[in-house]
Each structure stands twice: as structure tokens, then as C-alpha cells.
Amino acid sequence: EAQVTQNPRYLITVTGKKLTVTCSQNMNHEYMSWYRQDPGLGLRQIYYSMNVEVTDKGDVPEGYKVSRKEKRNFPLILESPSPNQTSLYFCASSPPGGRFAYEQYFGPGTRLTVT
């Protein structure tokens, strides 16, 4: 089944404790992105990647890091989480062209709480 998976689905942590949220897709998509969803703000892009070893900042990159060492994986790293990073996070992937060009396929989300 074609899908984007994220782990963990739920995470409660404390300020300053480094964490990683994993994202993996099995559709061989070149493009991958991370978004955060906050009430009243919709989804905002954190980082995106156009291919292996190619990443760039989105609209709200402060406090986050990413890496793309393999095509299928795109982990999100919070090196020193703070309470304002409490949010619902989504990973997404998309093909660069063809019939499904520009369509983003979303993971199920990771709800992060930082206390």
C-alpha cells in the first residue's frame, strides 16, 4: 500500500530534550516536506526536500533541522524543543511530474507536546 508513515504518532517531552520524528514514504517520490498545524493558522511548511541531500527552509524553519540521506526518509529533528513547538506535525511527499504532479500525500501526523 502506498503510504507515508510517521513515528511516533504521539510524543510528550520536556524543554531542551532532543527528539527526532521519523518520516518514510514508499512511493519513490522525490519531494518531501514537513508541516506544522496550529489552530487558526492552517498548515505551515517547516522544511522541504527536492531530492537526496537537497533541502531548503520553508516558512517556519526556526528551531528545526532535517536531513535527506535516503530518498524514502526525511526525519525532522528538534535539537532543543521549546513549548512553542507544541503542535501537530505532518510529513508529506509528492512526485515532481506526471499525472499526479503537485499532489501531496500526507502522513497521519505526530502530535507533539513540549512541557
Partner 1 sequence: AQSVTQLGSHVSVSEGALVLLRCNYSSSVPPYLFWYVQYPNQGLQLLLKYTTGATLVKGINGFEAEFKKSETSFHLTKPSAHMSDAAEYFCAVTFTGTASKLTFGTGTRLQVTL
State the residues that interact with partner 1 by CB under 8 A.
Answer: 4, 31-33, 35, 40-45, 48-50, 58, 90, 92, 94-97, 101-109
Shortest spacing between CB 84 and partner 1, in angstroms: 18
Residue type, 106: F
Shortest spacing between CB 52 and partner 1, in angstroms: 14
Check residue 73 and report its DSSP letter.
B
Shortest spacing between CB 53 and partner 1, in angstroms: 15
63 phi and psi angles, rounded to 5 deg: 90, 5
Nearer to partner 1, 7 or 14 (CB): 7
Nearer to partner 1, 92 or 114 (CB): 92
Q: Are 98 and 41 in contact (CB under 8 A)?
A: no
Nearer to partner 1, 24 or 104 (CB): 104
Nearer to partner 1, 59 or 70 (CB): 59
Q: Which residue has the cell 507533539?
A: 112
Shortest spacing between CB 77 and partner 1, in angstroms: 19
Burial of 98 (0-12, 13-18, 19+ CB in 10 A): exposed
Q: Are 23 and 107 in contact (CB under 8 A)?
A: yes
